[in-house]
Homo-oligomer: A and B are copies of this chain.
Amino acid sequence: MPPGEFELIERYFRGPAEALRRQRGDVALGIGDDAALLQVPPGMQLVAALDTLVEGRHFPAGTPPESLGHRALAVNLSDLAAMGAEPAWFLLSLTMPEARVDFLEDLSRGLLNLAQEHRVALVGGDTTSGPLSVSVQALGLVQPGTALQRNAARPGDLLFVSGTPGDAAAGLALEMGTPPGREVAAAQQQWLRRRFLFPTPRLALGQALRGLASACIDVSDGLAADAGKLAQASGCGARIDVERLPISAALQARLGIAAVRAALTGGDDYELCFTVAPSRVDEVPARLANVKCPVTCIGVLEEAAGVRALDRGMPIGFELRGYDHFIGAG
């Protein structure tokens, strides 16, 4: 890219990042050198996640750049949420065909608004020309021994999910103009679209679950697939009672009877799926009293491997989405 575009990046990223950096007080050196220098508080463990969004794979061509900026950070904050971590800093690697003022303005607004909301500081990265993709690397902190993991659930533990899964898949279908779907009110369409375009990383929920949940994962590849990964990592299986799935009114209106399938397999929800031992399930309401995010018990972990979905006791078939993420971060 021509050197003149350097100033665009300075204006849209470096200036706003500087304000957040000053707020935090733990960034010794931010954007502008070969690497960032960060002060990890004594006794805290570092939590690191790296996820990339690729045009045509994680978002359709024509996705609003504000959404792209938001989602690139949100999917990484969601990984930190699934660990029960507090987000601290992030780095950005942006590849785009050309640096356009309106594109950068919108993308940086989406990214930095979410960063501001969670007080996570942009401390470095790079920008280059090429096919559109955005990598964010998020760093968070957690007290040693308290991080939520995938692998410590036991058969008998109850399975929960936050929010209303399936909305994002229906929102993406609306974005892409894909049938099928019923005509629904414009407000509901808009709400479903936003569930895809602006997912909410469940950071407060993840932090509140530390010491209570036996295992946790974020839902990126579909609830059944990710519940299955949690169960597999814990050496057991999972049963989902589909009549208990929390279905949003908008999803119900849009998909009718197919809403259940969207909730099971839809993907891109960035809700948390977690387990709680039966002896501690009574603690859930009090522990989550201040977390503005509903959670629903949707099933139980079982000895037998695999994920089963039952509708009032009758097994139903479903197909898992393919894996997007191969070497660990989900």
Contact = CB atoms under 8 A, between A and B. Distances in A.
Contact of A150 (B28, B34, B218, B233): B34
A36 B46 CA distance: 8
Contact of A54 (B85, B95, B124): B95
B48 A139 contact: yes
Interface centre among A51, A142, A330 (most CB of B within 10 A): A51
Given A52-B128, A328-B32, A328-B125, A47 B37 contact: yes
A322 interface: yes
Contact of A38 (B5, B13, B46, B217): B46
Number of identical protomers: 2
Contact of A329 (B3, B34, B218, B327): B34
A186 interface: no
Contact of A46 (B40, B49, B94): B40
Interface stretch (A75-83, A159-167, A243-251, A300-308): A75-83
Nearest to A53: B128
Nearest to A216: B34
Contacts of A3: 322-323
Nearest to A52: B93
A49 B48 CA distance: 12
Contact of A33 (B33, B55, B150): B150
A325 B49 contact: no
Interface stretch (A129-137, A173-181, A192-200, A287-295): A129-137
A88 B26 CA distance: 20
A124 B329 contact: yes
Nearest to A31: B328
A207 interface: no
B48 A14 contact: no
A124 B325 contact: no
Given A1-B326, A48-B137, A95-B54, A35 B83 contact: yes
Given A37-B47, A45-B28, A149-B29, A328 B52 contact: no
A311 interface: no
15 contacts: A3-B322, A9-B326, A14-B328, A28-B144, A29-B147, A32-B328, A34-B218, A49-B124, A50-B124, A51-B126, A54-B131, A57-B130, A92-B327, A125-B329, A126-B327
